[in-house]
Structure 1
């Protein structure tokens, strides 16, 4: 018999086949590569399974909703058909009832029409007889009224003739009375007129005599006044003549003196002409200086007006500068407040990122330690499967943590931008653009690594 050791060494290792591949003959490196490949395929299969499960759940949900809607529609259709049938039955019953009512109403209407027709014939006959009697009575009344009217017209004509005769008699009497009164009034007026003429004639003659007396008196006064004035005028002109003679003699003397003065003045004029010739050049220079001064004066006025306008404009600009300075101070205070809030948000974000990094580094260290422990021993497929499952769980946790941090980052960024808008500071004036999560094909949205990811390149 062969020894036990030889017998045991002669047995073959149990073949482990995974996906049609024998893993019993693989070394460690191939096994690790195969494990990674299996892990990738497992991840892919899990993703596909999750996707198909989601699609299946969606389809099942849609199918349930559609089936429920179909059942509800069928139930509603049955209810409506039942309601339609009931309404049709009610309409038929109501139609029969209405037909019976119409028959009864037609019969009643025919009976009422016959009765009314008979009553109307009787009433019409009675009314016709009554109208005939009334017509005869009216004709008799009409003839009587015509006869009465004719008699009244004859009586009125007789009364009118009598009234005309009476009126003519009264009119003749009244005319004679008024003519007598008119003659008396005319006689009185003529007598009064004669008396007035006599009085006015006497009065006129008296006034004329008074006017002639006043005229004669005024003429005598004027003649005396004119004689006095003539004598005064005669004396005045005599005095003027004597004065003129004396004045002529004095003027002759003055002429002689003026001749002498003229000669002296001509001499002075000649001297003045000579002096003016000598002073012409300084005068021309003074005229030029005067023109220059006038030009400078006009420039001075223009400069003065311009200075006043500039002074006014300067005052307006100073007022605008004060307003802008105040607005700048307000905006500076707001900007400082926003910067302070930004620094706080940045520090909070940095602390959160550092905390996540510390957690990730701690988990990485733990995983490395566990990996070293696992490297020291051989693992069977079940342990590898459990290890991969644990790794998947950890990866999912890390993804969840990253998503939570990304959500916190986006919330902080949105709060920051809303605060800027509320304070009246446009985000474009900050000098930088906050970095937002970017979606990469096939991956979840990512942001920058660490606190530096908060700020991208500065705007120029």
Structure 2
């Protein structure tokens, strides 16, 4: 059993070694083949890179040759430009010298012109102020003209109203004069009548007093006769006293009417702003 196992083991080991050897040989062959392929690809890539680098080098060489040629042309052009600029600089220096001399010659007129400009600027500022003032004055004049027209219109209306009030005042004055004159005439007439009646009554009373004295002197006569005479005298006295009171009442009414008319006329004069002295009748107001 052991021998058989050892034999199998050796046989298996031999097969395994052969198989491993075969695998190693295959792997080595495959490795060599892959290495060969890699080397071929590397060589191909190197050749391509060399061609590309050679082409790029040629292009760069041509590029820099062009740049060099352009720079040489530019240097030549710049040298020519420098020569021209030197000539222009000399011409500019001469021109600047001429300009400096011209500036020196024009300095005095320029200073004078600048002073004139300052004066003109001040005049322009004053002109603007005057222009603004003129516009404001025109606006104010237009406003005042409008105001004057309105005032003229109002003055015309007030003048018309004044004329109407003056005519009304004159009419009232005439009416007042006529009323006062008529009232004075009536008052004077009634006063005369009243005074005359009072005088007559006084004379009558004196006569009655005399008659009463006579009656008193006849005291020894018939009492009935004396009583009748006394009654007649008392009746007459009462009647005359009543008449005197009536006359005084009428005199008071006329005096009150005169005062009321005077006060009404005075109120009208004050209402219309007319001084009492202008009416020429100051004694009416007393």
Task: State the structure with more CA Rg.
Answer: 2
Bigger helix share:
2
| TM-score using structure 2 length | 0.49
Larger RCO: Structure 1 or Structure 2 (Cα < 8 Å, ≥ 6 residues apart)?
2
